[in-house]
Every structure is written in C-alpha cells, then in structure tokens.
Amino acid sequence: METKKANIRDVANKANVSTATVSNVMNSSRFVKEETRMKVLKAMEELNYRPSTVAKSLRGKDTKVIGLIIPIQQKDTSGEFFISLSNGVENALSEAGYRLLISNSNENISNELDQIDMYNTQFVDYIDGLIIAPTSNTEDEVDNSLHIRCPVVYVDRKPNLKDRLDLVYTDNYFVTYEAIEMMFRKKRSRIAFISGPIDVSSTIERFEAYKDVLRKYRIELNEELVFVGESSFESGYEIAGRLLDNHDVDGIVVVNNTISMGVYKYLKEKNIQIPKDISFLSYDDFPWMELTDPSITTIRQPAFEMGQAAAKLLLEKLEDDRKEPKEICIESSIVIRNSL
C-alpha cells in the first residue's frame, strides 16, 4: 500500500505550529525563534517532507496565476451570482495572459480562513495575487487578511477593516432604498423585510436602507415584520407562512434570491394576488423572475462587471504595488416589472 506523502499541514501539526510558521522556516521569510525552527526542521525530517522544487524555482518570478475565493453554498441559487462574478474575473485575466485558480469557502468562515492560509503558505509561490469575496465581518478574517503575502483585492462584500483596502462593490444601500421607496409611493406601508443572515456588508446595507425608508415615512420599525432565515428555498417558504399567518402586510422585500423563491411559491399557493394584495420586491435578476405571472421587480447586481473590475484592479497592483488602495463602486439597477 502506497504511503501518503506528507504535506506542509502535516509538518505544522507535528511541530504544533501554524502552516505560516512552517513556510517562514522553509523560505526564511520572517524571523522564527530558534527553538521553534528546530521543531519544524525535526518534524520535516521525521515526516521525510521535502518542499516542492517547482515552487522554489518559481519564487521571485511571475506565475501568471491569480487565486479567487468565492462563497457558494450547495443549495443557494445565488451561487449563479458568484459564477458570473468569476466569469468576469477570468475574462479580464485571460486578456492579460493570466490564469485563474478558484476555491470555494462554502459561505463558511473557517473554510475561508483555511483557504487564505493555503494560498498564503503552500501556494504562495504559485500565485501572483488573490481576489476574495469574504464570507463575513469576523475579527478572525481581519487578522488573517492583514498577513496575506501577495496583493489582494476584495470584491462584493466589504471586510470589517479600519485600514483602506482595494475593493470592488456595488451600492447596496442606495439602490435598495430607492426600490423600497417605490413601494411606499404605491401606498404600501406595512412592508415586511426578509433576509438571509445579516452578517455581511451587502446584507447589512440592505437592512439599513429598509429602516431608513421607514424612518423617512414616519413608520416605526416593527421587529415582528423582520425575518432572518437560512439561505434556502425551504426557509423562504416557512417564513412566508409565519409572516402571513400572523401579520397583515401589503408589501414584502426579500433581499436573498433563494429565499425569494420559497416566499413566492407560498404566495402563489395561497392565491395571494401580486401586486393587488401584496407588493413583492426581490434581489438579483435571475431568469425565473421574468417568467412568473406577474413578473417580479428586482434589483440587478452587476456581478460580471464587478469581477472584471476586481481583476483589473489586481493587475494594476501587480504593476505597481506602491499605488494607494482604491475602492470602485459599480452601480446596481432596478429592473421594473409587474410585482409592485
């Protein structure tokens, strides 16, 4: 039976250190205490671990490879958004002669941190830069990203960092505010807000827009009309039942495409007339929204364009790493149909 070849993580586990420390010992890239260095070298010897000669030969040279971390969940159809974003990244990179290496955090912060660590250690000699669509605003992400050893651009979601970063995003707040205000102008005043977890910048901004429109029209926020569920069809269906069984509403805003499908199915099954009985606003312009009866008014995010912009911004950083961090905002748009 063939023995499994040791990798850098095996060395780190045996020496009881981080993979970054192992990489620092191998590359002499940062100071490591002599005691720790000897532990790592001993673990490498016992495991018969040898660093990749290919990686060594690439050190100091452009590999023409860019890493991309995206957060797609298996049951979340909004994965189409990140696929489109990835296509935009690849489109811009291929024009510049670069290749793309994609990994998926599955919307899990631990996975994301592991992947950042992977790019930052085992793959640090294979990639020239990294694009990240972060999963959340946790402090762990902050600590990790500050030590990434290659140029980084964040896309779609804003990390919870005080320092300026290279970032490509869309105006979630203003476009959501404008769309919800359209519902008020149609004399809707009891509007429910349904969302996935409010723990990333894009969703937080959408919720802030909802609250600010209520404030403008002098309507007190009713916490019972705010629902936060899992990003799934089943969650949307279940939330719609709880909402409509217990509350009299004349408008529903759903800022998650997958949840939106479940809400819409419940409305149709209960023969609730859209928009006569309830106005319905969704997020992300997917084909099914145009095919429904009535067709659904939605907010279209420029996923492909954001991907292109993120790639081009990273290429600029690779040409001149002394450039000041830049934020690029690409406008979203309201696709007006028949559900308001």
Query: Are 340 and 182 in contact, with CB atoms under 8 Å apart?
Result: yes
Least confident of 195-204, 235-244, 302-311, 325-334: 195-204
Longest Cα separation, the chain? 74
For residue 174, pLDDT beyond 90: yes
Pair of tokens at residue 320: 């001149």
Phi, psi of 286 (to 5 degrees): -100, 155
User: Torsion angle of alpha carbons 39, 43, 46, 52, nearest 10°?
Assistant: -130
Q: Catalogue all structural domains in the chain, each as residue range(s) with its CATH number.
A: 1-51 (1.10.260.40), 172-300 (3.40.50.2300)
SS3 279: strand
In percent, the amount of the chain with pLDDT more than 90 equals 51
pLDDT, tens digit (0-9, with 9 covering 90-100), for 76-133: 656 788 999 999 999 999 999 999 999 998 888 888 888 888 887 777 667 888 999 9
pLDDT in tens, 247-305: 999 999 999 888 999 999 999 999 999 999 999 999 988 888 888 889 999 999 999 99
What burial class does residue 226 get, using C-beta atoms within 10 Å of its C-beta: 0-12 exposed, 13-18 middle, 19+ buried?
middle
Residue 66 CA: distances (Å) to CA of 92, 116, 272, 290? 11, 13, 49, 35
Cα three-residue angle 274-275-276, rounded to 5 degrees: 95
CA 43/CA 141 separation, integer angstroms: 28
> How much of the chain is helix, strand and coil, in % rounded to 5?
45, 15, 40
